[in-house]
Amino acid sequence: MTLIMGVLNLTPDSFSDGGSYVDTAAAVARAREMVAAGAEIIDVGGESTRPGSVRVDPDTEWERIADVVKTLVSLGITVSVDTVHAATAQRAIAAGVQYINDVSGGLHDPKILRVVADSAAHYIAGHWRGFPSATEYRDQYRDVVTDVIADLADRVADAITAGIAPERIVLDPGLGFDKNTEQCWEILSRLQEFKVLNVPLLIGASRKRMLADLLHGAPPDARDVATAAVSMHCAAAGVWGVRVHNVKASSDTVKVAQKLHTVKAGLPADIPASVAQHKAPVADRITLTGLEVFAHHGVFDFEREKGQKFLIDATVTLEKLAGDAADSLQNTVHYGDLAEALHKTAATAPVDLIETLADRLVHVALQFTGVAAAEITVHKPEAPIRKNFTDVSITISREKMGEQCDR
């Protein structure tokens, strides 16, 4: 089920609730109210990132949020701290917070990645082109979705290189951060494409200008119904979490989306949401294992010159149920043809990385009629590693976008 992250800004200048919760008691009361309304995480912020906001140093930021963070942790509330500063993140983690929400994705203060890596905290990396400016516009993209996905892939790579385990990473496409209104709607309309990153997604559309533009300039607190509608859309798309100001409204619409999902999937209405979310639809699969290819892929010159053995495992998920009474090839995929196509692609056009090779092979498999999804594993058992090892491999999974599966 999509998680609800409640926004708690302890700032004097945030665009929606700036100055409302600078008192510790009021802030803690607001957090408890949001938890009672359905928030699983409270995101505490001490520095506004709205266009034209004033930058603050980490000491000032921590002074604003320290008492509230420590109190919420002591109450057993799951806390996220919204910061771009490594020093603030380190203090927050020491206080027991479980999430660091960095809208810069490590680009503002790269040391924040190491701080999170040395902890058990989760890291939320946002898409970033700098602090939003009231006068400077950086919303030029070739294609906003593909460009943002590419940038977020870099953020993931940097986080993993720093030592953050992949399962502790969440991504945020940064609605409103150097993106105009139409670009924000474009991202929301194409959420399925972000699955290529294979990382949970957080969406923060709450009360933002994209909603004001849609609602003819409605003030922030009059955008909550529209925000809830976006939350329902995100839940239907399988988004990990939504970051919102009005928790009750979004919590209710997420429950509606989850109910519709369970009914559509034919699941019992009373099963746990976590089970309903992860139960896969029935589908037939074909698996091809150990396809051997001699090719010249590799980073080193001698790999390109001499070549080596690669092994390919492929699993394709079918759009139709193949094992039925029709006994027809039209309902399945000719695995001999699949093997030939994969072998031909793997044996030609050398690349540096087996990751690139696996991605190519996935796209080959998805071109077959009747294939809804594909998973490719490329093994490199003769990789130039100076230690004893059995195998090194990469697995990539992709779904065919924009088509319905008859299952």
Closest CA to 50 of 122, 112, 128, 132: 132
- Half-sphere exposure of residue 375: CA atoms within 13 angstroms, side-chain side: 10
Q: Which of 208, 223, 360, 380 is catalytic?
A: 208
Q: Among all chains, which residue has been given the structure tokens 């329902």?
A: 232
- For residue 279, indicate whether it is catalytic: no
* Residue 325 CB burial class (10 angstroms; 0-12, 13-18, ≥19): exposed
Closest CA to 198 of 360, 342, 394: 394
Cα(394)–Cα(372) distance, integer angstroms = 21
> 399: which 2 tokens?
């779904």
Closest CA to 373 of 337, 340, 404, 329: 404
* Pair 156, 171: CB distance under 8 Å: yes
Q: Which of 243, 360, 380, 398 is catalytic?
A: 243
* Pair 139, 183: CB distance under 8 Å: yes
Contacts of 24-29 spanning 24+ positions with Cβ under 8 A: 24/67, 24/68, 24/71, 27/68, 28/68, 28/71, 28/72, 28/75
- For residue 64, indicate whether it is catalytic: no
Residues 6+ positions from 388 with CB-CB distance below 8 Å: none
3-class secondary-structure state, position 394: strand
Q: Residues with catalytic annotation?
A: 208, 243
